[in-house]
A and B are shown apart, each in its own frame.
Chain A
Amino acid sequence: MDVFYSALEQVFRPDVLLIILGSSIYGIVIGAIPGLTATMGTALLVPLTFFMDPVPAIGAIVSATTMAIFAGDIPGALLRIPGTPASAAYTDEAYKMRQKGLVELALGTNVICSMIGGLVGVLVLVLAAPQIAEFSLMFSSYEYFWLAVLGLSCAIMVSRGSAIKSALSLTIGLMLSMIGIDVVMGIKRFTFGDTELVGGISIIPTLIGMFAITEILRKIGELRELPPVPPVRVSRMMSGVGSAIWKYKGGVARSSILGTMIGALPGAGADIAAWVAYAVSKKFSKTPEKYGEGHIEGIISASSANNAALSGAYVPTLVFGIPGDTITAILIGVLLMKGITPGPMVFVMDAGLVNAIFMVFVLANVIMVPIGIGAVLMSRHVLGIPQAILFPIILLFCVIGAYAANNTLFDVWVMLVVGLVAYVLEENDFPLAPMILALILGPLIEENFMKSMIKADGHLIEFFSRPVSGTLGVVTLTIWALMIFMHLRHAKRKQAASLPT
């Protein structure tokens, strides 16, 4: 009970509540503006979290991302342009509802289902995380090594497009993580004689470069003015929502649990959860023919799933220190900067912090309803911000953010180079999620790999000698075999298709 009160004390402080409120409004704006993603919003928040204590820093990220994922639904329903990729799965459905004069019902359902999904995800997090953490206290370097490799393998598997490109993206992240002092003998590696690189590549400019500069480069070339926003009667937003959700309560429960599970899978985030939940919901629906015509059932399922995924991603993050998606990868970077290494020991040593994180999640999901309704009311103004003004200001913010953490212009160079390279890679279908996951997990993998190699004196069979490590190892190798098999089959099919008939 003491732990609970200590968590309560850490969260319900005026400064923390103010930060959560401010971040929520920031998240709503980021999510509602097409082109600005939740990941980009998180990357831009990182320089500010540098100046905060751990609880408000986590609170800022959790509340901003929770709001951003919901807010992505607003332009989707009003303009048929998803605010974030997580809303893309049901944008057409929501827009069709607008054409039927039911836009308020669509948006009201979005906000309530987002809250329910988010809270189900938190419930799973609260119930499962401490249990898994207790179990994983007996893990040795072998288990941690396999767990991290399994996480990265999942990230490759769920990435869209070529597995080879995903794997190469991952190797770039691992290589970047090796810059600086090595974990075995403490010698300098890949620093090119530059003292700025001795401490490793700075995480803040790397994140901003990867997720914000790439986005600015992509959008600034073809600036577009958004179409006018139709009037929305906020008073009608809650009418009929309760009965619609009650009618499809099974779908809400299924999608929330499915979303949480997908979120917990490293590399798979809210967008994949929404697509899968939408497809599953259509498959199990009594009226699948209505999908695509402005049917509320698909919206209910998918918008529950994407917010649930956000909470689900925190299960592996908090328990093992393995990020469930790009947002939690950034969060781990923030925690590491604050001297906190996520993992089972946090549950033992700092239970107050863990409970505070749970509380922040509940709070963020609950305040999403009034803030979300307010955001719909303000949507005309938010969506009216010209992109021609917005992007140059965001760029300036990126530059100051990259500089501010260490007060060095070298970090602005890092952001520039990472941003340009990441832009070229992404334009050529190299996914960035494996890269950022590998950058964060690199030190963990190398440290546990080297510890295990030294303990085992190079006998690789030792990696499979313990029951849990053996199981994890076999699962990982099976995933690799599966990916190679799928790649070869895809190549064979492609070759057969290109042959003249």
Chain B
Amino acid sequence: MKINDALFGIVFVLVASAILITVQSFPTLPDQPYGPATFPTIIATIMILGGIALCVSGYRERAHQPLIRLAAVMKTRDGLVRMACVPVFMILYILLSKPVGFPIVVPVLLAGFLVITTRKLLKSVIIAAVTTALLWLFFVDFLMVSLPLGILTKVIY
């Protein structure tokens, strides 16, 4: 996914400006003008200069660089769906793993993702179940990580 340099430049200038505004409220050392704001101010200034340089180069190259150009793979339905699955998988895990529980959410999410990538239902379900079991054994029983049990907490304890 190609984005025109000027757009990046604007984002950098805006972020750096927000940082410069935020650090205004930071205190300084007694008798010296330095403090927690000094270093962020220097870095934000470099960011603004770099951002302006990108704005200029993006503007100059506007004939060759459209504002946003999707990667070839994003123009195919399958490619786009598979890519979208990555953030969707993570967001669903974040939202559901605690209330529902790792042993229920993960096989379902993984099987769903595998069906989309392999298009084979049975194989996906088996791989998802086995992978979840192995990862549970490794992380919970071997490394002692407490993965969320969710609704299974009441069933087990």
Enumerate 5 A-B pairs (CB-CB under 8 Å) in ascending A order.
A168-B50, A185-B27, A392-B85, A427-B2, A449-B38
- Give B78-96 as 1s and 0s: 1 = Cβ < 8 Å from A's Cβ atoms: 0110110111011101100
Interface string of B36-54 (1 = CB under 8 A from A): 1011100110110011011
Bound CA–CA A220/B82 (angstroms) = 6
Q: Find out whether the CB atom of A416 lies under 8 angstroms from the CB atom of B90.
A: yes
**B114 pairs with A221, CB closer than 8 A:** no
Contacts of A184 in B (CB 8 A): 29, 34-36, 38
Q: Does B32 reach chain A (CB closer than 8 Å)?
A: yes
Q: Are A221 and B74 CB-contacts (below 8 A) given A168-B54, A392-B110?
A: yes
A430 to B47, CA, bound (A): 14
- Which residues of B are in contact with A by a Cβ distance under 8 Å? 1-3, 5, 8, 12, 15, 19, 22-23, 26-27, 29, 32-36, 38-40, 43-44, 46-47, 50-51, 53-54, 57, 71, 73-74, 79-80, 82-83, 85-87, 89-91, 93-94, 97-98, 106, 109-110, 113-114, 117-118, 127, 131, 135, 139, 143-147
Give residues 162-209 of A contacting B (CB, 8 Å): 164-165, 167-168, 171, 174-175, 178, 182, 184-185, 187, 189-190
Verify A428–B3 contact, CB threshold 8 A.
yes
Smallest beta-carbon distance A438→chain B, Å: 9
Q: Tell which of A48, A396, A454 has the most Cβ of chain B within 10 Å.
A: A396
Interface string of A220-260 (1 = CB under 8 A from B): 11110000000000000000000000000000000000000
Residues on B with C-beta less than 8 A from A391 are 117
**Bound complex: CA A430 to CA B32 (Å):** 37
Q: Which of A373-418 contact B (CB under 8 A)?
A: 386, 388-389, 391-393, 395-397, 399-400, 403-404, 407, 409, 412-413, 415-416
Q: What residues of chain B lie closer than 8 Å to A400, measured between beta carbons?
A: 135, 139, 145, 147
CA gap between A182 and B53 in the complex, in Å: 30
Contact check, B12 vs A168: say whether CB atoms are below 8 A apart.
yes
Q: Which 8 A-B pairs have the closest CB atoms?
A: A221-B73, A182-B36, A388-B117, A221-B79, A392-B113, A168-B50, A404-B145, A446-B39
Question: In the assembly, what is the distance between CA of A51 and CA of B142, in Å?
Answer: 10
Contact B131 A393 (CB under 8 A): yes
Instruction: Contact check, A454 vs B29: say whether CB atoms are below 8 A apart.
Output: yes
C-alpha gap A449/B33 in the complex (Å) = 14
A167 to B117, CA, bound (A): 37
In the complex, which residues 445-501 of chain A have their Cβ closer than 8 Å to any Cβ of chain B? 445-446, 449-450, 453-454, 457-458
B94, A413: Cβ atoms under 8 Å?
yes
| CA of A450 to CA of B22, assembled, Å | 19
- Report whether B90 and A175 are in contact in the complex, using a CB–CB cutoff of 8 Å: no
Q: Total A-B pairs in contact (CB under 8 Å)? A: 156
Q: Is A424 an interface residue (CB 8 A)?
A: yes
Q: Kindly state the separation between the CA atoms of A490 and B91 in the bound complex, as whole angstroms.
A: 43
Contacts of A393 on B, CB cut-off 8 Å? 110, 127, 131
Contact partner of B82 (CB less than 8 A), chosen from A167, A221, A415, A458, is A221
Instruction: Give, as a whole number of angstroms, the nearest-CB distance from A495 to chain B.
Output: 9
- Decide: A428 and B2 in contact? CB cutoff 8 A: yes
Given A185-B35, A397-B135, A407-B146, the answer on whether A168 and B47 have CB atoms closer than 8 Å is yes
Chain A residues with CB below 8 A from B135, complex form: 396-397, 400
Q: A178 and B91: CB pair below 8 A?
A: no
Chain A residues with CB under 8 Å of B74's CB are: 221
Contact B46 A167 (CB under 8 A): yes
Q: With a CB–CB cut-off of 8 A, which chain A residues contact B19? A: 175, 190
